Structure 1
Amino acid sequence: MESVAQWIRGEVLALMGPSGSGKTTLLNLLGGRLNRPNVGGGSITYNDGPYSKFLKSRIGFVTQDDILFPHLTVKGTLTYAALLRLPKTLTKEQKQKRAIDVIYELGLERCQDNMIGGPFVRGVSGGERKRVCIGNEIIINPSILFLDEPTSGLDSTTALKTVQLLQDMAVGGKTVVTTIHQPSSRLFHKFDKLILLGKGSLLYFGKSSEAMLYFSSIGCNPLIAMNPAEFLLDLANGNINDVSVPSELEDKVQIGNSDAGKRNRKPSPAAVHEYLVEAYETRVADKEKKKLMVPTPLDEEVKAKVSSQKRQWGASWWQQYTILFCRGIKERRHDYFSWLRITQVLSTAIILGLLWWKSDSNSLKGLQDQVNNGLVKVNPWTFPFPFHAQSLQ
């Protein structure tokens, strides 16, 4: 990431750019997931303060992949999240009520008793799974919510509903930052602010509704009617097909050796990128950096709390152990306590018992039989371990 200096308030901010432009890297930096960059420097402040353990409890982060337990219900998933993450000052009943409130807030009341599902288990739809993931984070009522491509894999209508949900959260006072990949035109105009990235550099920051006006002011206009997001991604990629460019950019061309290359001379993607970065630095960057220098008025008590390095746990160690143990039993009971598994275990036990029934343990041969019996029983439990370990890597 290079020269990314922006401020965010209670709005929906979209991070947009082509693959490899640095969207997820920037999101992880903002969310405190990359505390030590390998190279370079810089700082990220929250209300003019550095990232702290207290702030970690005020930040929600929704990953791109829906990591959920397939055999838990929607209600069970959010209830366990509430029991683990909400503060100790709340009773168990209050935490359970908070989970129910989130279910209704996300519109999941119709499927609250349905299992999440997975590759081999039928469950809720993709849009409902994504809302459950969002619910796992907003259950703590975070001040800032980060989402990594929340609309990936969703149809246009479901994606629009998801972004509208984020818009409602922002209206309630939360700051929402999300990466987005190829949004539709309707989806694009749902965002309050937009950051356009290209090769780790900032190409635009401002209102999403004013993005086309900005690029028009620097001489970049679409020659045909197209989705604004598609136009911006083409520019970030250095693709200027169906795009008019200013004369100073047309002068920066790659002159080929062939006659065809000379007739169809176009600025290289690197030249387009350099022009867009330079235009942003000269026209917008200085104004935005001056806004960053204005201190945010904060109460002293709030300042002390924000800068605190003491993390507030929602449950004690023993409570966490108990909750996680119960959750694990509910999740795995479908594997360990199914009729097929019970029948298999009982049948194996009967067969092995009959094979060594009335064996003489006093003789050497009988003792060897008993040892072999033990090895046969232990082998099914130990043999699969290397394969399970390999599958988890």
Structure 2
Amino acid sequence: MEYINLLNKITAVDDDPFFLHFIEDKFQEIGISNINLYSDPNAGLESLIVKSDFNDIVLVDLQMPEIDGIAFLKLLGDAGYKGQVIVISGFESKVLSMAESIAKQRNLAILGQLTKPFSAQQLNGLVDRALSRILSAENAELAATIGNYDPDIFEINEETLFPVIQPQIELGSENIVGYEILSRLKAQDGSIIYPSQFISDFEENGRISEFNKVLFRSSFARMAKYDNVKFSMNLSMRDLNSHRIVDDIDSLLNEFGVQPSRLTIEITETCLVENLLTAQEIATRLRLLGCSLAIDDYGTGYSTMKQLTEFPFQELKIDRQYISSCHTHEENQIIIRSTVEMAKALGMRVVAEGVETKQELAFVKEAGIEIVQGYYYSKPYVWA
């Protein structure tokens, strides 16, 4: 297996010694040895939380007598475990999916789920996903050490901004039909600071508008160098509270001579719920400018289908938590198919985010999704 040397500590926790050896055998079948086996969940937990790294993997059985799998995942999350997690159970897929969802909310890096008994091929697929995440720039943030970063005094300017773009692919032709602009910052020591590490900081300390002014100006200047190329970018939750953002975008479009039809503004679903009326006003004003609108991370918030009809959206982006391993998750398949059907009935195009594997690609294509974004085609890269 390529890049197998990138994996650090692999641990399996299951109260059944027989099944622990079954897990060990399956790893050996895919060329991996030296698995740490724990039939005592307390001992396993103690070993895992002493020191962890994103390159670690732990397999956790959900049904254990002393500490059940959900309690175990909670303790892992509370301890700040950095490794990647695979949940295992003999229960039906819905229980596994709930456990996976709970673990994500505990800020654990979930690789996926395995139903007892599983095959070496199924295990190999999840290990491949782990290696892909380790190699990817986006997930490297989870193990990165940030130098010289204080959100209150960090200088936000053209030199410290480090924008990257990720292509969106039309499946029929496999042509690039647009790019999403993704923001990064660069610390004084050259280390990259990712959105999950600074956006919430800037929202809390009131510097998000300062950041967005630099990001938007830099992005529009770059967009002006391209002809007929479409780009999309996000608005933060704080931006949706102020109509000034519409005037700022209008001014930049005019200053750099960028056609509004080349810009798609992505608004997250949770923003719409928390600022419904203001978000409606801002969204409508942006459409009147000629920009396109997308609802981002669909399925992660609490908006209703009715609310979708109350906004002038033209695009719906299905969150990658539903795309991940969708070819094996029956519930996710149902959600994806129904979402695609609903969006098309409302005249909206659908984008699948986070497509990483050939199997995921095959399913979203079969489900009727026409545009995808994810590491299967390209990870984000520097926007010159």
Q: TM-score category by the smaller chain?
A: under 0.3
**Structure (1/2) with the larger helix percentage:** 1
* RCO higher in structure (CA 8 A, sep ≥6): 1
Normalised to the residue count of structure 1, the TM-score between the two structures is 0.25
Structure with the greater alpha carbon radius of gyration: 1
